[in-house]
Every structure is written in structure tokens, then in C-alpha cells.
């Protein structure tokens, strides 16, 4: 029987992975903190690193080790548990920054490479594909909860210690920060996109990311058929509870109201509402389109800053 070898195909795959590793490994650090470890990604040559908020926890600093043998102290510049992102500043210069990509350009089945520090084994590499796009990841900070949107699912093997490390595309661009192991062959990464770049920039300059607060608990609810036909969509956010003294209460929002727009932007679910509750609207009047007793009305609210 004649054997057929597919070395060319294997070599092509290997070349793709090794090229990513050679390009990106100098930019991935092994992090050691007082109560744990993880990974981080250099994003500027003068010492800024990106990692997961749950890696740093309440720590103020730690040590970062690099593939060139350097070991540098770092301080935590800022962390945002509701996106599970944190920014560090290492005490060093002439670091090798990774190129940040855009997760919005990813496609299911695309090659991705994870580099991190699983179980303390620095510089470990795994490869796989994008298994799914658009997953949601619940996060919490105290009593506040948010959903991280468009999370990347991959079958590249991730283990404890990979958190905060790089998920890169086939050209070595970081498209995600590895954040969770949801099961065997099921890893999740916070995407690098317009929304998370804004968070990272705020953490670098201000040490925090400001979010707006209305003071409601809500959930999805179908629109009445007539209203659904009028608005051209099928769902909104039902107000389940209004916090006493909150902007929602002061603006006249009530339990059982159905929020369908914010400043004329459609609201189909809680995630849509969360996406709009950013620092820009803190202290600024916003208009909520609300269905009450089958009638559409407008309410004006002034969000305050969410305290986390």
C-alpha cells in the first residue's frame, strides 16, 4: 500500500503558528502576584501591559517575567471587573509591544494562537480555531452586573494561568485577552474591538472606566403585537424594579414600564441598555421611550456614575 504524506500542509500550518509565536512571545509576560499568577500582554514600549481584571484582583502590583530573561516589577494602573480587563505599568523601557487587531474581523474557523502562563509554565503556546463568535460573558463587581459582548470562543487549549494572555490571529495580532476556561476545548477571550479599546484607553489615562447608572432591574419582554408592528421590532426591556431615590425613580420610571428606546436608539434587550450606559451620558439628560399601559411616552432621566 502506498502511503501519502501531507507534509506540505502540515508545514504550512506549522509555519503559521511558529511565525505568530516568534512575533508575539516577546510581548507576553508571566505575571506573579501576592495571591496568584497569570499572563499579560505588552501594549506600549514604555511599560503598559494588558491583562484580566480577575488576575490582579485587589493587588496593587507584582512582578512580570519576559522571554528575554528580564524580570520587572509592575503596578496596577487600573482595573475594570465589568469588562474583566486591567492595565499594568511595568518598571522598564524598550519592551516589545504587541500589535492589537480587531476581533470584529474574525471568522468562525479561523486559526488563533494562545500564548500565556498556564500552571506557571511561562511562554506556553496552544493553537486552535475560532469556534464561535458573539458569546456573552456575565461579569460582576459588588452588586453591579454587566455582560461582556461578542466574546470569542476558541478550542485552543486554555488552563489556569492563561488568563490575561494573548489570543492572536494568524498574523500575530492580538484579537482577544484570554479570560476563562468554560470546559474542555472551550476557552473564552474578551475581544479587542472599539468598545474594549475605549476601556483600555480610559484605564491607561484615568485608572478607571466610568459607567452610567439608572437604578433599575430589568429583563427582556416581547412588545405588544400592535406596537411591534409600529416600531418594527419585537422586544424591549421590562422594568422589574426601580431603586428608591435613583435617577430612574426621579425621572418617573415605574415597575412594569417597557423601555424601547434611549435617545431614539432602539433597545431590544438589557445588553443594548448596558452598551449605552457609558461615561458620556453621566450627568446628561437622556430620553427614554417607554411603553406604559399600551401607550408610548417619553421620560427624561439624568444618569449618575455607577459606583463599583
For residues 17 and 51, what is the distance between their CA atoms, to the nearest angstrom?
22
- Give the model's pLDDT for residue 9: 55
Q: Of all residues in the chain, what percent carry a pLDDT higher than 70?
A: 95
Asked whether 88 and 44 are in contact (CB, 8 A), the reply is no
Residue 170 domain flag: yes
The phi, psi pair for 261, rounded to 5°, reads: -145, 155
- Give the model's pLDDT for residue 19: 93
Residue 96 domain flag: no
- Give the model's pLDDT for residue 224: 83
- For the beta carbon of residue 129, count every other beta carbon within 10 angstroms: 14
Residue 6 domain flag: no
CATH assignment at residue 266: 2.30.42.10
Domain final residue pick, 169, 199, 229: 199
Q: Please give the full DSSP string across 115-156, using - where no structure is assigned.
A: EE-GGG-TTEEEEEEEEEEEEEEEEEETTEEEEEEEEEEE-S
- Give the model's pLDDT for residue 248: 95
Higher pLDDT, 75 or 10: 75
Q: What is the pLDDT of residues 161-191, one digit of tens each?
A: 899 999 999 999 999 999 977 666 789 999 9
Structural domain count, the chain: 3
Burial class (CB in 10 A: 0-12, 13-18, 19+), 163: buried
287-298: average pLDDT: 92
- Give the model's pLDDT for residue 169: 97
Q: How many CA atoms lie within 13 A of 202 on its CB side?
A: 17
For residues 236 and 305, what is the distance between their CA atoms, to the nearest angstrom?
24
- For the beta carbon of residue 162, count every other beta carbon within 10 angstroms: 28
Q: Is the pTM of this model over 0.85?
A: no
Confidence of residue 3 (pLDDT cuts 50, 70, 90): low
Residue 95 domain flag: no
For residue 124, pLDDT over 70 is answered with: yes
The phi, psi pair for 176, rounded to 5°, reads: -160, 160
Q: What is the pLDDT of residues 80-121, one digit of tens each?
A: 999 999 999 999 889 999 999 999 999 999 999 999 988 777
137 and 86 belong to one structural domain: no
260-286: average pLDDT: 90
Active site residues: 54, 84, 163
38 and 121 belong to one structural domain: no
- Give the model's pLDDT for residue 230: 85
Q: How many CA atoms lie within 13 A of 62 on its CB side?
A: 24
Domain final residue pick, 68, 90, 112: 90
Q: What is the pLDDT of residues 136-161, one digit of tens each?
A: 888 887 767 777 878 999 999 888 88
CATH assignment at residue 63: 2.40.10.10
For residues 26 and 29, what is the distance between their CA atoms, to the nearest angstrom?
8
Burial class (CB in 10 A: 0-12, 13-18, 19+), 209: buried
What is the span of the domain harbouring residue 55? 11-90
209-237: average pLDDT: 88
86 and 111 belong to one structural domain: no
Residue 56 domain flag: yes
- Give the model's pLDDT for residue 8: 56
Angle, CA of 88, 70 and 168, to the nearest 5°: 60
Residue 256 domain flag: yes
Amino acid at each position: 500500500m502506498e502511503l501519502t504524506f501531507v507534509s506540505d500542509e502540515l508545514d504550512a500550518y506549522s509555519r503559521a503558528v511558529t511565525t505568530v509565536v516568534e512575533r508575539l512571545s516577546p510581548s507576553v509576560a508571566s505575571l506573579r502576584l501576592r495571591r496568584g499568577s497569570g499572563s499579560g500582554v505588552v501594549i506600549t514600549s514604555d511599560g503598559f501591559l494588558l491583562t484580566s481584571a480577575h488576575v490582579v484582583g485587589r493587588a496593587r502590583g507584582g512582578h512580570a517575567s519576559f522571554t528575554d530573561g528580564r524580570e520587572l516589577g509592575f503596578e496596577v494602573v487600573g482595573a475594570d471587573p465589568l469588562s474583566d480587563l486591567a492595565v499594568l505599568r511595568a518598571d522598564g523601557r524598550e519592551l516589545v509591544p504587541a500589535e492589537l487587531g480587531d476581533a470584529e474581523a474574525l471568522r468562525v474557523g479561523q486559526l488563533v494562537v494562545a500564548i500565556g502562563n498556564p500552571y506557571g509554565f511561562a511562554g506556553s503556546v496552544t493553537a486552535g480555531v475560532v469556534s464561535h463568535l458573539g458569546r456573552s460573558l456575565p461579569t460582576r463587581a459588588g452588586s453591579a452586573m454587566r455582560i461582556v459582548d461578542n466574546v470569542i470562543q476558541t478550542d485552543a487549549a486554555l488552563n489556569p494561568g492563561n488568563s490575561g494572555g494573548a489570543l492572536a490571529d494568524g498574523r500575530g495580532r492580538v484579537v482577544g485577552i484570554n479570560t476563562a476556561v468554560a470546559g474542555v476545548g472551550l476557552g473564552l477571550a474578551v475581544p479587542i474591538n472599539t468598545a474594549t479599546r475605549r476601556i483600555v484607553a480610559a484605564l491607561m489615562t484615568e485608572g478607571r472606566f466610568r459607567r452610567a447608572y439608572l437604578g433599575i432591574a430589568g429583563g427582556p419582554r416581547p412588545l405588544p403585537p400592535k406596537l411591534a408592528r409600529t416600531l418594527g421590532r419585537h422586544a424591549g426591556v421590562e422594568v422589574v424594579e426601580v431603586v428608591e431615590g435613583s435617577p430612574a425613580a426621579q425621572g418617573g420610571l415605574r415597575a412594569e414600564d417597557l423601555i424601547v428606546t434611549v435617545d431614539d436608539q432602539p433597545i431590544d434587550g438589557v445588553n443594548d441598555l448596558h452598551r449605552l450606559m457609558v461615561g458620556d451620558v453621566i450627568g446628561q439628560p437622556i430620553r427614554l421611550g417607554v411603553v406604559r399601559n399600551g401607550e408610548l411616552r417619553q421620560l427624561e432621566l439624568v444618569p449618575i456614575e455607577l459606583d463599583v
